[in-house]
Structure 1
Amino acid sequence: MITSFEASLNQLSVHKVGNKAQDEYMVLSDAPLSVEDEMLKNLLMTYFLKPFEKVNEVYRFTHATNDLALNEIYHFAKKCFESGSNFHEISQQITRHLYDVSSHPKIKAGEVYVVYFDAVQIEGELHKALGIFKSETKETYLKVYPDAGGFSLSYEQEAINIQKLDKGCLIINTEAEEGYKVVVIDQTNKTQDAAVYWKDDFLKLKIRNDSFNQTHNVLGLYKNFVTEKIDEEFEISKPDKIDLLNKSMKYFKEKEKFDFEEFSDEVIGNDVAAKSFKSMMNNYEQEFETPLSNGFDISNQAVKKQATNYKTVLKLDKNFHVYIHGDRQLLEQGFDDAKGKKYITLFYDKES
């Protein structure tokens, strides 16, 4: 999604925020940081931008009143893009806002980096971008160096691993009226209440409802429908469930566009089940305020991502795992009265 081989670091300001609820301090630097060393500049570019190369979801800024101007970070980003001359002052305002929302007791203190980039590529186009990053996790590193015909060891504590960006966002200077294109990383507090403060409290984002998210959401919903919901209306065996999952994944891998009626006929194959799945989609739309179209372009990236969640393994006690990838008709189930156990018969042409 993001590529940075043409990108360059234009301006950088560094500050520090503590946890406001714990009465920790905020420290604002007086001036931007000048980075002349090319090696250090390359390391910073790796630290800031490389993690976004695997990020597919694109967000937009939002606000409860639907007035984007009231979203603090949107407001600051727009000022920065309109006039880069007040960059450092804007970086201080951004840091103050982050400090104000850092009220959960589990939020860690850390350095805040506000960066102005040139030529960041997203979806094949080059744009200026504003990056906001926070380093919370510190590590200890060993140093080995030559000394008097041998080697000596030392260490450095409270150091930052440039391969592990804790939190970050890139605000891309395009589609401003729609809330910009924003990509986000949050590697800490993933399972805690503190996790929401970065994306929800600080940035106030909503997912961009593009083909990636449409594909990702429908595949995720269908998986839940087959594995959980469908049992409420039908008696269906585990191999038949796996067959439904296989058919859906085959559909999304082979088609260029999703069509609900076509999907219902070719994959679900039952009017009652199709109506139940449609009802599930409608409920999702209302609960998450995310429209799901009856027709959209299929995103191959989203299919690949969801494919890892589609399990096609039939587990039989602790003795066997049967991987079902193809024709369901080549598998038969039964019950052996003499042994008092269920059995499965598999038909095939050759071993490999």
Structure 2
Amino acid sequence: MFFHQDATFEQLSIHRVGNKAQDEFYVLSDTPIDIAQDEVLPDLLMQYFMKPFGKANEVYRFYHPNDDLQLNEVYYFAKQYFEAKIPFHEMSQQLAKHLYEVSEHPKIKAGELYVVALKNVQLEGEEHDAIGIFKSENKEAYLKVYPNAGGFDLDYEQEAININKLDKGVVVVKTEEEEGYKVLVVDQTNQSEAVYWKDDFLKIKARNDNFQQTGNLLKVYKNFVNDKLDESFELESADKIDLLNRSMNYFKTKETFDQGEFEEEVIGNPQAASLFKEYQENFAEEFDTPFQSNFEIASPAVKKMTASYKSVLKLDKNFHIYVHGKRDYIESGFDEERGLHYYKLYFENES
């Protein structure tokens, strides 16, 4: 989970990057922007830059096809800055030049590039320094209404930026340098040419450590139970909740995930286990995220996924039944006389 509520801006530089294929150029500023004396602007910029990352679930790492991280331009310049080998503003200029060089698709829009130095961003429970890189491509017209001579007057801003619509952004968190840092990405443009941000400019791939393995396994298993099992088995909602509860209990009580053990203790059916393995393989191929048959379970990833594991039976708009275990204490049926379905619950004590 990513939090920016306690984060602060240390420095900010702005440049403009054009489309190289359209013979547009880049414009580099000479100095950083001083916003320290402004009481409003830092909060607006923090909202504009950082708020979209609250929904960024995937953590990436820098890489290079030649397996040499130093050849990844964004990683290299970020590392130089983190190690105080290059001034912040010079780093931002180098990043702008690199973005310009990869902006070769004819439909890539020109825009402003913002580079910020951040303090106290929190990722997965730990605070770190970070670098934020953001690009604004789309402008909007805004109306301004203000009092004037006992009434109101109207004006407009033609090429303004909507601070609730960040086009592209990346936060490079200063941790796990040798593995390629922890990297969060936002890209609100879905056109095919937009892949240049992730693939050409950043060169990133999904992290595949214990945290990612744990989160992906839980995510895939939840989707498997909710979407896939119905094709081969007749399952009631209570059965699905029971399967999800058993899987969450497995991850909360075990230190290590073992595929065979999980299939036996949680799934408990060879045919369903085979279907799950096939479902995993399809996910791994589609998202280029291979699964390991054994890995250490990351508790923060389990905690993160707990909220999405719903254990509630919703019956019309009248009742919600929270199921935490004891599937054999729940019976369901159909009342012919009333023409309604029903659940029967058994319990020892009422609390």
**Shorter-chain TM-score range:** 0.7 to 0.9
The CA distance in 1 between the partners of 2:125 and 2:31, in whole Å, is 34
The answer (yes or no) to whether the contact 1:331–1:344 under 8 Å persists in 2 is: no
- Tell which deviates more after alignment, 222-231 or 4-13: 222-231
User: Residue 23 of structure 1: CA displacement?
Assistant: 3.2
The SS at the match of 1:214 is helix
Counterpart check, 1:151 vs 2:152: yes
AA of the residue aligned to 1:149: G
How far apart in 2 are the matches of 1:156 and 1:78?
39
Does the CA contact (< 8 Å) of 2:59 and 2:184 recur in 1?
yes
Contact persistence 2:314–2:320 (CA under 8 A): yes
CA distance in 2, matches of 1:120, 1:211: 22
Deviates more, 1:57-66 or 1:210-219: 210-219
- 1:10-42 per-residue CA deviation (whole Å, 9 max, x = no partner) reads 222111122333333322222222224322223
What letter matches 1:24 in structure 2?
A: E
Provide Cα deviations, 1:294-350, integer angstroms capped at 9, x if missing partner. 45235222343x548x998999xxxxxx999866973458xx9xxxxxx98534479
Q: For residue 9 of structure 1, what is the aligned residue in structure 2?
A: 9
Q: Which runs of 5+ in 2 are unaligned?
A: 347-351
> What is aligned with 1:275?
274
Q: Residue 242 of structure 2 corresponds to which residue in structure 1? A: 247
Measured against aligned partners, the alpha-carbon deviations of 1:137-156 in whole angstroms (never above 9, x if no partner) come to 22222212111112212121
Query: Structure 1 CA distance, aligned partners of 2:107 and 2:144?
Result: 32
Residue in structure 2 matched with residue 69 of structure 1 by the alignment = 70
Counterparts of 1:76-95 in structure 2 under 5 Å?
76-83=77-84, 85-95=86-96
- Paired letter, 2:49: F
Query: Take 2:285 and 2:345, find their aligned partners in 1: how far apart are those partners?
Result: 49
Q: Deviations over 1:209-264 (max 9, x none)?
A: 345533442244335545676578x4x23xx1755532333234445145544542
Q: State whether residues 173 and 181 of structure 1, in contact with CA within 8 Å, keep that contact through their aligned partners in structure 2.
A: yes
Q: Which residue matches 1:184?
A: 185
Structure 2 matches for 1:162-241, cutoff 5 A? 162-189=163-190, 192-210=191-209, 212-223=211-222, 225-226=224-225, 234=232, 236-237=233-234, 240=235
Give the counterpart letter for 2:303 in structure 1.
Answer: N
Whole-Å Cα distance in 1 between the matches of residues 298 and 65 of structure 2? 29
1:64-118: CA deviation from partner (whole Å, max 9, x where unpaired): 1211111111011111112265322221211121122223344322110011223
State the secondary structure of the residue aligned to 1:26: coil
Evaluate the alpha carbon distance shift between residue 146 and residue 128 of structure 1 in structure 2; reply closer, same or farther with a 3 A threshold.
same
Q: Does 1:125 align with 2:126?
A: yes
Tell me how many residue pairs correspond in the alignment: 330
Asked if the contact 1:244/1:268 (under 8 Å) is kept, the reply is no
Task: Specify every segment of 5 or more residues in structure 1 that has no aligned partner in the other structure, as ranges.
Answer: 316-321, 337-342
Paired position in structure 1 for 2:34: 34
**Aligned partners of 1:242 and 1:324 also within 8 Å:** no
**Structure 2 CA distance for aligned equivalents of residues 228 and 97 of structure 1:** 43
Task: Quote the Cα distance in structure 2 between the aligned partners of 1:289 and 1:4.
Answer: 28
- 1:226 and 1:7, CA in 2 relative to 1: closer, same or farther beyond 3 A? closer
User: What TM-score does the superposition give when structure 1 sets the normalisation length?
Assistant: 0.78
Q: 1:289 to 1:147 in 2, by over 3 A?
A: closer
Higher mean alpha-carbon deviation, 257-266 vs 105-114, is at 257-266
Deviation at 1:169, TM superposition (A): 0.9
Residue 119 of structure 1 deviates from its aligned partner by 2.9
CA distance in 2, matches of 1:283, 1:24: 42
What is the percent sequence identity of the aligned residues? 52
- Residues 281/85 of structure 1: CA separation in 2 closer, same or farther (3 Å cut): closer
* TM-aligned CA distance change 1:228 to 1:253, over 3 Å: closer
Change in Cα spacing, 1:55 to 1:272, as seen in structure 2 (3 Å) is: same
Distance 1:158 1:260 in 2: 55
Match of 1:23 in 2: 23
1 CA distance for matches of 2:172 and 2:159?
29
Counterpart-to-counterpart distance in 2, 1:103 and 1:324: 55
Given that 1:59 and 1:208 are in contact with CA atoms closer than 8 Å, whether structure 2 keeps it comes out as yes
Residues 132-147 of structure 1 mapped to structure 2, 5 A cutoff: 132-147=133-148
Question: What is the alpha-carbon root mean square deviation over aligned residues?
Answer: 3.5
SS in 2 for 1:57: coil
Query: Is 2:45 aligned against 1:50?
Result: no
